[in-house]
Structure formats: structure tokens, C-alpha cells
Structure 1
Amino acid sequence: MDDLIIGIDLGTTNSCVSLYTNGRIKILENESGLRITPSFIYVSPNGEIAIGEHGKKMSKHKPENGIYEMKRLVGRQFDDPQLQESLKYFPFKVIASRSNFPLISVKQRTGRVKKSPQELYTMLLKELKKYTEEKLKQTINKAVITVPAYFNVTQRQVTLEAAKDAGFTVLKLLNEPTAAALAYYFENDIEGTHRSLVYDLGGGTFDVAVLEKRFEKIEVLCVAGDTQLGGHDIDTSLLNYVYRILRTQYGYDPAADPDDKKRLRIKCEEAKKELSTLTETVIFINGLVPKYPRIKISLTRKKFEEMADKLFRRTIAILDKCLQFSNISKRSIQEIILCGGSTRIPKIQKLISDYFEGKELNKFVNPDECVAEGAALQAAMLSTNRKQKIDELQMVDVVPLSIGTRGHSCCDDMVFLIKRGSKLPTSASQTYINIETDETTFSFDIYEGERLDIRKNRHLGTVSLTNVEKAPPLQKQVIFTLFIDQNGILTAQATEKFRDNTKTVNVNYTCGDRSDGEIRNSVLDAAENKKHDGKFIRFIQFKKYLIQYCIGIMYNLNEKSLKSKYKDLYNFCKVTKKTAETLEMDDEVHTKELIAECEQRCKYIVKTYNFDCMPRDYGHLLFS
């Protein structure tokens, strides 16, 4: 029988494993009998590792050895301002690697041990794998893992590498709000076309997505979010309030002591949770400040809401931006789905309801589990195990906008390699030829968009192939390939034909990070400018021909030792080529005149000396 595939919600605060089998979803309990596992790792002074609930408890005795919220560190540069802000509140030490990525430094008896976020991710995933296999009594090697919709390519790659090191083959990285929508649509039998908005506020990240279900197919219409906005930041706003009181009223600054920072964060997190059901609570601080053995800080829900108001409203602003960019009206949203533990906060629920003019919110019984449930459903869709057969839903992942590259280094025409609407995974290749003899580097600028003028599109990145063998004009071939995998990660590769010379780069692109409004605007812009683009591409053909013709003449004059004899002609072509490179669409008439002049002045020597490596004679056809 084929392997079972599990779903993993790899969260900032907690992680959860689920499995769809025999028509239902099961949340798999860990060794402690808990349905969720804290994303927490404790490294003892002896080097022993404790993960999850046990690690969280152990860290109370030595907070600087307890590591959490790795998700906020993965794939980020150490000097990232948002990362630096988070470091102020971590009790553990984070330093910069040589390549400027964060490393967690843990003090042990034998010295300091440095761990990368990826290594810590791997430890956590190994723990999840271990208890899953014990629960299911079989080996589990395949998984669908959820990530924030706004995770960039580096963050996704770190996740994939960590999973691989933990012994998993990841069949798909599933965006968290999409996972929540999958869980909702599985539980609710909805016919016809239906639109839902997912508001996902977890411990460390925020995502909002609009999805549309048409019969069995679910399509993501737009996403927005912030990978540095979540329950952690709400705790921090409360923590800063407690810090101010301790400094001003008790003359004590807890920020310098890792133990105190950790203790106070736990107190603030507990108070936040209490205020979701109570209107007032008290934070008790014992034995922290000399001369004050017991400190009481009263806190009302109203005061808490005032402190976190900017953060709450930031989520609504992101939600509003998502809908505006998508040209989707509030009233067209039929269901508002809440997931993520922070959506339990009453003020957040009220702000969302008010935004949608009093519309009732759909609250999952347990918002901590719905993303894992969606991951299990996606896993079942990818599974061939008959126990996981699922026919109710289909996820459609397509390329939202075309992706391509510049057709010629001196021109700005867009060559579309991967067309809009292509189903993932997908790839496409194009063969490019050298223009000049001394070309030893081929650079490919990659763009996303629908315009034929590449400058009207969005630049994604560049790949450069160096050490290319010199060859006469139009004789050297380089194959350029774009590939988007099932996780929406774009890879670009340039390969010199007939030589072992290849350059591959992962481009900082995430399929789905463009709102539906941006996509529609791009498509509409291309449609409205279709006639303009037609004229532009016709001009580019003239421009390319003129440049290639001039290069061909200069190359042949050099190769056939005719440069000194026809020095004026050589200089004329050199100046004309330089002029041609600066010509714009409004210069079409002038471009034609230059082509005519070049051909008139050069046709005798081209024929007499049998010039080769000249462009195909399509110039006259373009004048028709």
C-alpha cells in the first residue's frame, strides 16, 4: 500500500500534525497527550535537547537556553530592522553569521553552541515525525507543510531544507489561509460559487486571503499579510507597559536580565489570554524587585485594547488593502473565517465585524487546529493511498501573471516564457544567441507582467552566465529556462549549449504574493495598450535588425582584414550601432532610414566578399 501523507502546521508559537484517512480528519496527539506542540526548543548546559511542552517548562529555570519563535528568524538577514526589534525581547542570544544570517548562541559548560534557525526547525520537525510515527505505528516520510502566504522564496527554501534534514519529502508548501479555507469548505457543503475571506492571526504572522469555490474547485483570488505581525507583538505591547511601570514606579529595569524578560513575557501572555474572557485581570510579580516581594499590576480589557490598538488596526488596514487591490466588495464576501489563536481577542473580532458592517464571523471551534486540518486535506489530495482518497475538493494553483525575460540586451522587449494561467508546476525554455564576438557573459533580467515593453512589468531578478566561450555573432547558443515548482518557487537557469557551463538561481518570487487587483490591473493594462504594444514590438524588430546588421558588418570587416580599407564604413556602422541602442519607439521612422542607409552603403561589400554571420534578411519585409 502507498505511503500515508500527513499535514503539518509549523507554527510560530505552536505546531500541529493532522491526518486525513477513511473520510475524516484526525489531529494526532503528541507524547504528552496534547493536540498541539509548542514550537519550543530547550538546549541544556549539558547539551541535552528538550522539545515542545517539556522544553518550555525546562526553560523557566534557564530562559536564555530556551529558544522559540524560530519562524521569525528563518530566511532573514541579521540586520533586518524587524528582526532587530524582535531581538530586544528574546531572552536567548542571537548573533550574526559570516553571511549575515542569524545564529542562536546557547551557553553550555563546554562553551557556546551556535544553531541556525534551519537546524532548530529540523529538530522540531524530527520531534513531530517521531511522535507521529509512534502514534500511527508506521514510518511517515511525506508531508504537506503550511507556511505564511507572505513567506518569501528564502523562507520557503529554509523550510524545505529543514524538512528534508528531518526525513520528510515535502509534497507541497501550503499557504496557511488556503489551508484554513480548505478545512472550512470540507466541513461545509456549499454549492455553486462561494467567496470566503480568511483572517489568520497567529503567534508570529498575519495573513488574509480571499478564496472562491466553484463547485469542487477552490481558487485563491488575493492574499496579503505581514510575517512580523502576530500574537507575539500584542504580548510585546503589554510587556512594554509592564516595563514602564517597573521602571517608573519601582526603579527597576527588567530588560537586562534574560530570566526577568522571560518571566514577564509569560505573565503578559497569560494576562492577554485571560482578557479574552474577562474584563479585568491582575498581573502578579513575585520576588523580582528588591524591597517589593509582591507587585500587583491591575489591567482592564479596555486598557489592553488601547495598548494594542495600532496592531489590531494594522491587520484591518491590510485586510482593506487586499480587498481594494482586488476590486472585491465587502458584500461579495459570504463567509469570514477566523483562524489563529489571536483571533480569540474580542476587540479583533469586533473590528472585523464592524468592517464588514456587522456581518457574523465564522469561528472555528479550535482556531489552533484548522490550518493543520487543511494541510491534511491537501495531503490527501496528493496521496495515492486508498485510505486517503478524497473527491470533494480540488485546489487549483496557477501562475497569476506571465513571466519572461528581455529579448535582447539592448532592447526592452518582453519574451514570455511562462504564460499567465499555466498550472503548477510548470517550466519553459528559450534559446538565445550571441550578438557580438566578444560576449563572454549572458545576463537575463526576469520580469513578471503582460506588457511587451519589459519596462512596464515588474522586475523579479537577474541570472548571469559567465565564462561563455567566444564565438562569431549569432553562432553561440545559450538556453535559458524558467521553472516554477508546486510550492510557487521560481528557479532560473542559463546553460551554454555544447559546454558544461550552467548557472542556476532561485529568484525572489512567491507565486500568490500579488493581489487579485494587481493581477487584474496588469491584464487590463495590457489589453488597453494592445495596439501600442503592437507598434512597440514592430519597432523592436527594426531596432534589433539594425544593431545586428551593424555588428555583422564590423565583424566581417575585422575577420576578412578589410577594416583599414573600409575604415569609414566601419566607423559609420560603429556610430550607427551606438545610436540604435538609444532609439525609442518614437524614432521608428529614423530607425527605418538608418536601416536603409546601412544596407545601401554595405550591400556591395556584403555581396562581393560573401559576408557571413549576418542577420536574416527580414528587414525589407518589415517595411511592408
Structure 2
Amino acid sequence: MDDDLAIGIDLGTTNSCVSVYTKGRIRILENERGGKVTPSFIYFQPQGGIVIGEHAKTISVHKPENGIYEIKRLVGRKFDDTYIQKSLDYFPFEISSDVSNSPVISFKQNNTRIEKTPQELCTIILQELKKYAEAKLNQTVNKAVITVPAYFNVTQREVTLAAAKSAGFTVLKLLNEPTAAALAYYLENDIVENHISLVYDLGGGTFDVAVLEKKFGTVEVLCVGGDTQLGGHDLDNCILEYIFEVLRNDYEYHAKMDPDDKRRLRIKCEEAKKELSSANEAVITINGVVPKHPKIIITLPRTLFEKKASKLFQRTIDILHNCLVDAKISKESIQEIILCGGSTRIPKIQEMISEYFGGKQLNKFVNPDECVAEGAALQAAMLSTSKKQDIEQLEMVDLVPISLGYRSLGEGMRFVIRRNTKIPTKASIMCTNEGDTSGIFEIYEGERTDVRKNRYLGKLFLDGLTPAPPGQRSVIFTLDIDNNGILTARAEEKVSNTVSEVKVNYTRGDRSEFEIKNSLLDAVENQEIDKKFKKFVKMKEKLDAYLSSFLYNLDTKNLSEKYRSVQIFCSERMNDLYDMEVDQENTVKGLYKEVKIKCNAIAERHNFEYMP
């Protein structure tokens, strides 16, 4: 028995797949039904027991509210997330909020209400995959590389790691899905050096695009883009909305109101989408749904499906385009376009990608459902110490998809790690802390200079600091991203030897994703606004530093009573300054002049220290 044997797992939204590399070849590990992919579907039997996979999908028709799917799209989100709120109309099972605003899935077993978190549900699927792998390999398997969407945030990655640990795995690495597909392609084909490829990965629940370059024994990720709320299930929903519309208009029946109908119709829509990949039209037969109409037949031409889904198709091309523009890579320099993910079988998508690249031929994997798991297996072999898994080493270099930083006093974004920095990475910045003996760092991700336009990640508290005059205490603030894309924030004050550290979660803030604009496109569209805001923030911070030092000197030199009116004036101006916005730039300029006129003479007369 080889205890060091490591496997690769594609934990997918729609389907999951397990693969292993041994003795010079990749092997997909089939499930107990002989399938190479296992639907990521869990059915909780009403009288107790759990069924997973294809059979779970089949029997859930009898009690759809106990059939749980698309779990991956719930991972690491808050209940008020716009995706979850919009999805409530489509899911037949119940999703509610716990005390921390996280989603929980509810169902009944043995007449008892049961609640499961997305993490617990992922654990159940991973346990099943582990069981399949061990049965096929005839040994215990504890080590794995697990793939995640490139745009999975820290919370989603940590939940995946925690679920894997609960399932009995030691995760050697969380590997980005498009990187896994590229790895499979590079190692299975004789690719020359300095080869640039683009991976277009449209799966059931997520979309990723990545530009990669192979050179000198490494595969470097030049740029990534994606959307964790865009995939095959959204295309299913386009068809489902059309069916709802037909039933409502032609038969006066509102199928959305019945969870049984929604589940049955959704299966029909998924089948129709698959059929349209090879046929010009799909026939959807609906039996026993609409009263007085035991059988309804709806014909769906491929052209109509393409029209209904055109915005989603175009969204993938826009993300692809922005990825290339961001990396400053021309279309002509892309030597290979690699398709993976089941939704890339759709002819219109292939046509749009090829058209974008001027009619370039696409590289289609024999089975796009398996290539990500194969890439994970190859990476697992590279990290394994098993003698059975000797393999050519190819270093994978990933990038930070979104810039990271913290909030400055003037509401500005103080960038620490810029997007497209290689992972793992660690960056520090020296900053002054204005608090008395404590400090707070609010951490954000985004590209806007106005921190309020970016996504709030979390807070780091630093207590027990050395008392110091304003602007004279130095704190080293560090952001560290490991191989799994987990972000750790650290703040340290050397004098008191005070250190604080936190693993940052992307969903600690009160705002939903709907309220936060953090995309590169948003930053590009608002470049001029951001330049003006950056200048305004510096002005505010300069005035704040002057007022803080002036008030500090009044207090330490016991001059507060003598200059009471000036002290009150400065305190009030500090309060006013906090609420001022960029359109009040002239007001801040005028205020700065007014403060200097009132305070400079006093500061010079009494030899004030630490004045900026």
C-alpha cells in the first residue's frame, strides 16, 4: 500500500470527477455505477439515508425539496448575496439565513427539520469521491489536489479546504481550474517553449478564462478573468424562464410557484440545452404538470435558445476581452485556445470564440468534463512523494486576480498587492497609526481609489501599542497570499513588539455584492474620477495630520485653556473634514488656508513639535 499516493479532484458545480496519475499515465477513477463523472447532487431520503450522484438526480423527482445541487455556487456567500436571492425562484429546496447571515439548506428527514451548511454538503460529496477513489485503487487515499474557479475568493477557498479536511483529505494544493486544464494540455502534448495559450472554461456554475505561457519549465499565468455566477445552470435558467413564460401565457399556469414543477422542468431544460449542441431544435415534452393538459409539447429552436442566452454568451466574450486587454496581450499572440467545461460544447459559444480570434481553430478536449480533474491529478503527482507518481516537473505560477489593500484615513485605498502579482506573494507597507494605544486596519479588494467603491474584506485589530505623537508611530502592515490563494493580514509595531494577524474573509462586510463595484471595467470607466479622488484624499490627509499635531501640542504643552477658541475651531474642522466629499475640494483648500492662518503663529511661538 502506498500511503503517499495523491489524487486530483474536480469538485464541480454540476459534476465532479476524480483522477490519478500513476506509472506514467492518467486514469479517471469511475464511480460505483461506472461513470467517469459524478453529478454533484445529494438526495436526502425522507426516511433517512443519503444518495449521491446520478441516482440521486433520478429519485429526487419524487421529493424535489430534498434534492440539493449547485452547492458550489452557495459556498462562501452570504444569504443576502444577489446570486442567492435571485436563485430562490429556481431552487426547489429551501435556503434560509443563519444568525451570521450565511445560507443554510433545510429539508425534512423522519419528520425532523434538518439544516446543512454548504461546507457540510461539500464534505458529503468529497467523502463519496474519496470512497470511489479508494475502491478503484484498493487502498486508503488521504492526499489530494482540489480544483477551484480562478475567481473563488478567500472565503470560498477556505470553505473548500475545511470541507476537504472534514472528508479526510490533506489538500496538497487548491489549483485554479483553467490552470489545471492548461497543465493537462501541456503535459499531454509536445508543446514548444514560449507558447502562449488561452483557456476558456465554462462549466455548470462558473466561468474562468486564463492566459498562460509555457517557458523554461514553468507555466506562468499571465492573466485571469472570470465570473463565479456564470455557467451552464444560468443557460438552463434562460430556457426555464421561456418555459415558464409559455405555460403562463398559453395555459395560464404559474409553474414557478410549485417546487415539484420547477425541479421537473429544470431537468427538461438541461436536457434540451444538451440536445441543442448537436441538433437544430429540441422538443420539450411536459407530462402531468398543467391541469387539464396532461401532455404539452414545446419546440425550442436552437436559434431561439441562442437569442435567449445571447447576453450570457456575450458576457463570457467581454470577460475574455478584458483579460487580454489587462494583460496587454494581442489576439494574434494567442497560439492555442483550449476549451474545457461542459458548456463549451454549445456551437454558438464555439462560433463566438473563434470569430473573436479571427476564425482561429479551437482546441477541443475529447471530453471537456474530465480535463480539469486530469490536470489536478498531474499536479498531485508533482507534489507527491510516491514512487509510482514520478512525473516531469512543471512549475505552475498563478496570479492575484484583484488588487488588495487597506483603508486610509481619507477613505482612500492604500494598495499593498496589485492584481496579477504572482502567487505566492507577500508585501509590506510602512504606515503611521493615529490611534492612542490601538489601531484598526480595514482590508479591501478592488481597483478603485475610493475604498468605499471596493469590496470590504475584514478588520484587523492591533491593541497594546506604544503611546506616540501623531504620525510618529510606525506600523508594518503585511498581506501574505499562500499557494492556495488564502490571504493573511498582519500588522506589527516594533517598539511594543505588538503583532496582530487574521485570515481575511471576503464576506465579513455588511454590504452585498450587488452594492459593490470592484471589477477592472469599473476602474477603467472611472479613471478620471479616481485621479481626482486620489488628489483629494492626499489633501484631506495633509490637513488632518496638521490638525492632529496641532491639537496634540496644545494638550502636551498645557496650552488648551489659553487657546480655547482655536482648539474648538480645530476640533470642529477635523469633524467637518471627515464627512467632506471630493466635490468639496475647494472647501478643503480654503479650510487649509484658514487653519494655517489661525495656527501657524501659535505653533512657531511655542515651538510645536511633529508638525507636518
TM-score norm. by structure 2 comes to: 0.81
Change (3 A) 1:516 1:328: farther
Structure 2 distance, partners of 1:520, 1:190, is: 35
Match of 2:424 in 1: 425
Structure 2 counterpart of 1:482, from 479, 496, 503: 479
Structure 1 counterpart of 2:506, from 492, 503, 508: 508
Match of 1:131 in 2: 132
Match of 1:444 in 2: 441
Alignment of 1:168-247 (within 5 A): 168-247=169-248
Post-superposition offset of 1:555:
4.8
Structure 2 distance, partners of 1:260, 1:413, is: 48
8 A contact 2:122–2:163 mirrored in 1: yes
Are 2:82 and 1:81 aligned? Answer: yes
Match of 1:43 in 2: 44
Alignment of 1:235-314 (within 5 A): 235-314=236-315
Structure 1 distance, partners of 2:413, 2:261, is: 60
The one-letter code matched in structure 2 to 1:189 is: D
Match of 1:602 in 2: 606
Q: Which moved more, 1:293-302 or 1:40-49?
A: 293-302
Change (3 A) 1:574 1:598: farther
Q: Secondary structure at the residue paired with 2:90?
A: coil
Change (3 A) 1:458 1:68: closer
Are 2:102 and 1:98 aligned? Answer: no
Post-superposition offset of 1:115:
1.3
Alignment of 1:543-558 (within 5 A): 550=550, 553-558=553-558
The one-letter code matched in structure 2 to 1:490 is: L
| 1:184-233 deviation line (CA, Å, top 9, x unaligned) | 11112111211111111111111122112223211112222222221112
Post-superposition offset of 1:412:
7.2
8 A contact 1:2–1:384 mirrored in 2: no
Structure 2 distance, partners of 1:140, 1:258, is: 39
Structure 2 distance, partners of 1:222, 1:432, is: 30
8 A contact 2:150–2:226 mirrored in 1: yes
Alignment of 1:161-172 (within 5 A): 161-172=162-173
| 1:298-318 deviation line (CA, Å, top 9, x unaligned) | 333333333323322222222
Change (3 A) 1:339 1:411: closer
Post-superposition offset of 1:557:
2.1
Post-superposition offset of 1:399:
5.2
Are 2:380 and 1:383 aligned? Answer: no
Change (3 A) 1:93 1:572: closer
Match of 1:370 in 2: 371
Structure 1 distance, partners of 2:281, 2:417, is: 56
Structure 1 distance, partners of 2:344, 2:568, is: 67
TM-score norm. by structure 1 comes to: 0.80
Q: Secondary structure at the residue paired with 2:557?
A: helix
Match of 2:512 in 1: none
Q: Secondary structure at the residue paired with 2:398?
A: coil
Q: Secondary structure at the residue paired with 1:508?
A: coil
Q: Secondary structure at the residue paired with 1:342?
A: helix
Post-superposition offset of 1:395:
0.7
The one-letter code matched in structure 2 to 1:483 is: D
Which is greater in Rg?
1
Post-superposition offset of 1:40:
0.4
The one-letter code matched in structure 2 to 1:143 is: A
The one-letter code matched in structure 1 to 2:424 is: P
Post-superposition offset of 1:263:
1.8
| 1:32-52 deviation line (CA, Å, top 9, x unaligned) | 221111100000112311111
Structure 2 distance, partners of 1:359, 1:333, is: 10
The one-letter code matched in structure 2 to 1:556 is: T
Change (3 A) 1:87 1:517: closer
Q: Secondary structure at the residue paired with 2:128?
A: helix
Post-superposition offset of 1:403:
5.5
Change (3 A) 1:456 1:304: closer
Q: Secondary structure at the residue paired with 1:331?
A: helix
Structure 2 distance, partners of 1:586, 1:381, is: 63
Alignment of 1:355-366 (within 5 A): 355-366=356-367
8 A contact 1:554–1:574 mirrored in 2: no
The one-letter code matched in structure 1 to 2:157 is: R
Are 2:34 and 1:33 aligned? Answer: yes
8 A contact 2:96–2:104 mirrored in 1: yes
Match of 1:525 in 2: none
How big is the alpha-carbon RMSD for the aligned residues of Structure 1 and Structure 2?
Answer: 4.3
The one-letter code matched in structure 2 to 1:601 is: R
Structure 1 distance, partners of 2:447, 2:63, is: 56
Match of 2:25 in 1: 24
| Seq. identity, % | 56
Post-superposition offset of 1:486:
1.4
Alignment of 1:585-600 (within 5 A): 600=604
8 A contact 2:445–2:457 mirrored in 1: no
Change (3 A) 1:165 1:292: same
Are 2:465 and 1:465 aligned? Answer: no
Change (3 A) 1:37 1:473: same
The one-letter code matched in structure 2 to 1:3 is: D
Post-superposition offset of 1:338:
0.8
Q: Secondary structure at the residue paired with 1:89?
A: coil
| Alignment gaps of 5+ in structure 2 | 508-516, 578-584
Structure 2 distance, partners of 1:573, 1:289, is: 76
Structure 2 distance, partners of 1:46, 1:433, is: 61
Change (3 A) 1:585 1:128: farther
| 1:547-575 deviation line (CA, Å, top 9, x unaligned) | 786466345324xxx766xx34x987897
Q: Secondary structure at the residue paired with 1:133?
A: helix
Post-superposition offset of 1:447:
6.6
Post-superposition offset of 1:329:
1.9
Q: Which moved more, 1:264-273 or 1:499-508?
A: 499-508
The one-letter code matched in structure 1 to 2:141 is: I
Are 2:321 and 1:328 aligned? Answer: no
Post-superposition offset of 1:61:
2.2
8 A contact 1:221–1:515 mirrored in 2: no
| 1:557-596 deviation line (CA, Å, top 9, x unaligned) | 24xxx766xx34x987897899899799999999999999
Change (3 A) 1:181 1:587: farther
Change (3 A) 1:250 1:420: closer
